[in-house]
Structure 1
Amino acid sequence: MSTPNPRRQLRPTDVKRLNRTWRRATGSRLAMILESVTGPFNIGSVFRTAAAFGVETIWLAGNATPPTNPKAQKTALGTDRLVEWHEPVPAVDAVRAAKEKGYRVVAVELTGDAAPLHEASLGGDVCLVVGSEDHGCSPALLEAADAVVYIPQVGRVGSLNVSVAAAITLAEARRQEWVTAAVHP
């Protein structure tokens, strides 16, 4: 009698079952603010990652490109319909809207008071903010945020692509929640 290979790729039904297990262990709400993220491929990638991690709402701020942009659609692959999103507004208005919905707003930026991502408390209902590809988060947004975190890096490059930074931060927020819940599917 042979045993099935545990390293075979999961079938779609198995993937659904696995994802359902993780969803049951996920009680916190995640949201995002994308401030002046203009690259359509970045927008599409962030939306796809946001949908994968169960982000409920994305507020676009400043001159952010909407996910309806045809180039954004190439990387979003339709996932923008799985996440509620709002047309661009001034950054401070987006922060206010997130706070009114009960989110603690945490910006991802290099500032003097930013905490390393892995040491930051990302529990509860959190709205993560990433800023423009060129200039990051605006001073007004940073002032309005509840906290600021940064992603430690040890290489010779000083920054990450905005969609990669969003993915790392979303993954860490969920990881913290799942470690607390001690989920082991």
Structure 2
Amino acid sequence: MRKLTNEEKRERWRGYRPAERFPLAVVLDNLRSAYNVGSIFRTAACAHLAEVVLCGITACPPHKEVEKTALGATSMIPWRHVPETLAAVRDLKSRGWTVAALEITENSVPIQLIQPQHFPLALVVGNEVTGVDDAVLAEADLVVEVPQYGEKESLNVAVAFGIAVYLILEKLRPPFPGELSSDRGKPAGPG
């Protein structure tokens, strides 16, 4: 078995992705770690998302630590900076986007409950210490969480985002070559 070259990987993935970006954006609410920001850029570019919205103190490209973990992804996806997260969320809502905050609250629901009618969807991820700002939570249409089964109370924000994005995209992605639509959501293996 031979590993694919980077160009061969890109060619393979071009066959999977839709012509247009997925109608999913990420809003970064005052992230303090530029390394997390870079990781989120990289995941967002790999997932073919619509845009990254950087808010408040969130580091913006060009930034040494963002670029270190983004590995060039900041030039592969649309992004913009908005000084206030609440303003960014209200702007997205005014343009028809559903806003989902990724946060664990008394009313949050598993992220798997997001449905196609929720798109276009803006996913808000919060500060590593304080989470999504309370005013932004109040403005959100949905509050979703990545179900956790262990004892640790939270995931790293970039890790949580990566898991969340790929769970969400399962609702939208076209079938892989050779995959029957009736096979979607079934475990792989002998049947």
TM-score, scaled relative to structure 1: 0.86
Structure that is richer in helix per residue? 1
**1:24 matched to 2:18:** yes
Q: CA deviation at 1:155?
A: 1.2
Say which of 123, 128, 136 aligns to 2:123.
128
Matches within 5 A, 1:98-177: 98-121=92-115, 124-177=119-172
Q: CA deviation at 1:73?
A: 1.0
In structure 1, C-alpha distance between the alignment counterparts of 2:19 and 2:106, rounded to whole Å: 34
Contact 2:86 2:136 in 1 (8 A): yes
Give the gaps of 5 or more residues in structure 1. none
Q: CA deviation at 1:85?
A: 1.5
Q: Which range moves more in the overlay, 111-120 or 48-57?
A: 111-120
- Cα shift readout 1:47-82 (whole Å, capped 9, x = no counterpart): 111111012211112221213221111111121111
Contact 2:34 2:59 in 1 (8 A): yes
**1:59 matched to 2:56:** no
Q: Which range moves more in the overlay, 110-119 or 93-102?
A: 93-102
**1:89 matched to 2:83:** yes
Give the gaps of 5 or more residues in structure 2. 179-191
**1:183 matched to 2:185:** no
Count of residues paired in the alignment? 177
In structure 1, C-alpha distance between the alignment counterparts of 2:100 and 2:132, rounded to whole Å: 11
**RMSD (CA atoms):** 2.0
